[in-house]
Amino acid sequence: VSSIHRLPSLRLSIRTASTVVRAMASHVVGYPRIGPKRELKFALESFWDGKSTADDLQKVATDLRASIWKQMADAGIKFIPSNTFSYYDQVLDTATMLGAVPSRYGWNGGEIGFDTYFSMARGNASVPAMEMTKWFDTNYHYIVPELSPEDKFTYASHKAVNEYKEAKALGVETIPVLVGPVSFLLLSKPAKGVEKSFSLLSLVGKILPIYKEVVSELKAAGATWIQFDEPTLVKDLDTHQLQAFAHAYSELESVLSGLNVLIETYFADVPAEAYKTLTSLKGVSGYGFDLVRGTQTLDLIKGKFPSGKYLFAGVVDGRNIWSNDLQASLNTLEALQNVVGKENIVVSTSCSLLHTAVDLVNETKLDDEIKLWLAFAAQKVVEVNALAKALSGHKDEAYFSANAAAQASRKSSPRVTNEAVQKAAAALKSSDHRRATNVSVRLDAQQKKLNLPKLPTTTIGSFPQTMDLRRVRREFKAKKISEEVYVSSIKEEINKVVQLQEELDIDVLVHGEPERNDMVEYFGEQLSGFAFTVNGWVQSYGSRCVKPPIIYGDVSRPKPMTVFWSTMAQSMTKRPMKGMLTGPVTILNWSFVRNDQPRFETCYQIALAIKDEVEDLEKAGITVIQIDEAALREGLPLRKSEENFYLNWAVHSFRITNCGVQDTTQIHTHMCYSNFNDIIHSIIDMDADVITIENSRSDEKLLSVFREGVKYGAGIGPGVYDIHSPRIPSTDEIADRINKMLAVLESNILWVNPDCGLKTRKYTEVKPALLNMVDAAKLLRSQL
Ligand code: GLN
Ligand code: ZN
């Protein structure tokens, strides 16, 4: 029997025994807000478009919160979080709680409403949005607070207290969650114009009074527990930063008295020093740890845990979609229980469930066997409680044995294991893979064949994706149009894109990627070992969600994936047509990855599949092949000590894909985000012939690395204009930027290209922008 099918009866039995269940020590760090069918996304976007009112939006949000609380209460969770809902982002919520609103948003005090809040998040007609950046190593992005020494803070959003009361009114006692004061400061940045020497932590004394007000109000409203999320404790912190934690919580001690305080950490091990600081904080009753990613923390706990304190043991993975191996978790919990005591252990999730999909119940198209192996947020809540019950001697044998059967089926399923792939990937590990000759020799050989002008022009891959195009793909998928009709529509589109590029006089062409919905999904759908959900959405930022593929088995490529389209496109022009592939690291980093083997192993498997594709493209006469590694940087671990290990296997995987091609085949790669100075040596080690990189925000930052003397001998195309904006750059402006690059880079390695793919732009923007780009390249060629 599938564990999913068992859910309704399980819920029922818990409801009837609610007095017993209330005693179970179970906790959930946080829950997705977007809704099982992205209800919040649609409500937000409709409100932003002026199609619905603030009341409408609030109604959707209230209903979502109520259903989440009810669901956790029904499941028997004891520590149910509140204030983990957000209209946009929890760090932005914290900034508004503190009244940390940059002056350009014209806020005049008082409770912060939607106007100011969404202006900060998204900008408005006259002011741009605040910066957004990655939340640790997840795909979630938070709004970066801007702080300066003159800032005055005031209690300007009562959201935490309001949500606590809202749950209480529904009969649900919750544990209110706040981003902790030290993490808040460490995740902020100095406002523009503030001196570099300014220490964000120096503001701690100014924000604590607001935290105190919030805590007092929560206490007055009846809260008995409060959770401070302090995930920065898993990063590399210096003594000064660690002292800030000790200082902040001892300052809060008096207001916290009479309350139970949980400090929650997640995403990695807590380093030994930080663990010491954390476990000696004053006024704290419990500590939450990620025990999925934090295996060393496990040892620290076993070594020493403060007596009488609660351990919130995060054994249910919030970062993935796999169902928990309940027996294994129970063993871990029992071992920990022996250390911290029976009364002091609380079963929890490894982090907020924000980073997993919402509810498996809505997966109507997933294969039944695979579905057995999965647990989304709603199912993880049930797992947490089942573990808590089992730990206290009320093991649901049927639930556990259904789970054990599912684990066993996953281990032994022939769909997971492919011996040949395992063997081939294992053979890669110990050896290195590089092209036979040095990049400068290769570039010469390629130039003889390609005969490109200096400052060659190209684009990154995709061309505008029109409504028509999306419709054609949708209809083909739904089998509403025949393959013949589909192929001829796509062919027509490619032809249009090729002709446009020839008219514009671009040197190295692309086919425009009209057949692709998404650069990872397109390949995943054609590789073995991948599954796709219909509602497995995960919030990326604000109302934006992504639907990562699920890599469940050994990856292989049953047949060529892009050769048909690439050769068709090449046949339409005499100019070189780039074959266009997504690299293994990017496919890995943008998927839910299997947890039964190390990530690098899965990456090597994908690399082998892409290698086959590269070689097939070469055989088919494609002379330039681009292998995008847009997300290489995203996989960087949180701690410096682990960076090299990751970069080594990631870069190795990339090289595997193209180590077998001839010197005359030119390998390009593309990376998003200009922020690559710190990993420049790894990028050089990728040994691509040409790299194009996003560079929209700052030439200075990117170029400084070369100015500082890094030797770069391969082709390089820092984006010459920002494709994220509808603005059309002038020829002069682009020429100016190329000139700046020429001051640092040799003219024989510089390429001229936009920042990233053109898929989100309109033709009315793309045509004039590319025309100006080519003009600028020609202008500068004539001056060389
Ligand atoms: N080739 C892809 C495109 O042009 C690259 C996208 C990306 O870097 N995110 O769309
Ligand atoms: Zn890009």
Instruction: Give yes or no for residue 258 having a pLDDT over 70.
Output: yes
Mean pLDDT within 163-167: 98
Mean pLDDT within 683-706: 85
What lines the ligand 1 site, CB under 6 Å? 460-462, 513, 519, 580, 628, 630, 670, 672, 756-757, 759
Categorize the per-residue pLDDT at 701 as very low, low, confident or very high, splitting at 50, 70 and 90. confident
Long-range contacts of 234-238 (CB under 8 A, 24+ apart): 234/136, 234/265, 234/266, 234/267, 234/268, 234/269, 234/270, 234/271, 234/274, 234/290, 234/294, 234/638, 234/639, 235/186, 235/268, 235/638, 235/639, 236/271, 236/639, 236/640, 236/641, 237/271, 237/273, 237/274
Annotated catalytic residue 355: no
Categorize the per-residue pLDDT at 707 as very low, low, confident or very high, splitting at 50, 70 and 90. confident
Mean pLDDT within 303-328: 97
Q: Which two tokens stand for residue 86?
A: 């957000």
Q: Which two tokens stand for residue 730?
A: 């002038």
Give the phi and the psi of residue 721 in degrees, each rounded to 5: -155, 160
Ligand 1 mutation target, pool 519, 668, 693, most atoms within 8 A of CB: 519
> Mean of the per-residue pLDDT values for the chain?
94
Ligand 1 mutation target, pool 139, 463, 513, 770, most atoms within 8 A of CB: 513
pLDDT at 697: 61
Write a three-state SS string for 432-448: CCCCCCCHHHHHHHHHH
pLDDT at 569: 98
Give the phi and the psi of residue 431 in degrees, each rounded to 5: -110, 170
pLDDT at 280: 95
DSSP 615-667: HHHHHTT--EEEEE-TTTGGG--SSHHHHHHHHHHHHHHHHHHHTTS-TTSEE
Mean pLDDT within 493-517: 98
Residue of 744 and 491 predicted with greater confidence: 491
Instruction: Give yes or no for residue 84 having a pLDDT over 70.
Output: yes
Catalytic residue among 27, 355, 433, 724: 724
pLDDT at 724: 82
Residue type, 91: V
In degrees, to the nearest 5, what angle opens at C-alpha 164 toward C-alphas 163 and 165?
A: 90
Residues with Cβ within 8 Å of residue 736, at least 6 apart in sequence: none
How far away, in angstroms, is 755 Cα from ligand 2 center? 7
Contact criterion met (CB below 8 Å) for 470 and 753: no
Instruction: Give yes or no for residue 1 having a pLDDT over 50.
Output: no
ipTM: 0.99
Mean pLDDT within 247-274: 96
pLDDT at 561: 98
Instruction: Give yes or no for residue 698 having a pLDDT over 80.
Output: no
pLDDT at 8: 38
Q: What percent of the chain has pLDDT over 70?
A: 96
How far away, in angstroms, is 735 Cα from ligand 1 center? 24
Categorize the per-residue pLDDT at 710 as very low, low, confident or very high, splitting at 50, 70 and 90. confident
Residue of 430 and 451 predicted with greater confidence: 451
Mean pLDDT within 86-92: 98
Instruction: Give yes or no for residue 472 having a pLDDT over 80.
Output: yes
Categorize the per-residue pLDDT at 696 as very low, low, confident or very high, splitting at 50, 70 and 90. low
Categorize the per-residue pLDDT at 10 as very low, low, confident or very high, splitting at 50, 70 and 90. very low
Categorize the per-residue pLDDT at 699 as very low, low, confident or very high, splitting at 50, 70 and 90. low
Categorize the per-residue pLDDT at 468 as very low, low, confident or very high, splitting at 50, 70 and 90. very high
Instruction: Give yes or no for residue 4 having a pLDDT over 60.
Output: no
pLDDT at 20: 38
Mean pLDDT within 530-554: 97
How far away, in angstroms, is 340 Cα from ligand 1 center? 50
pLDDT at 548: 97
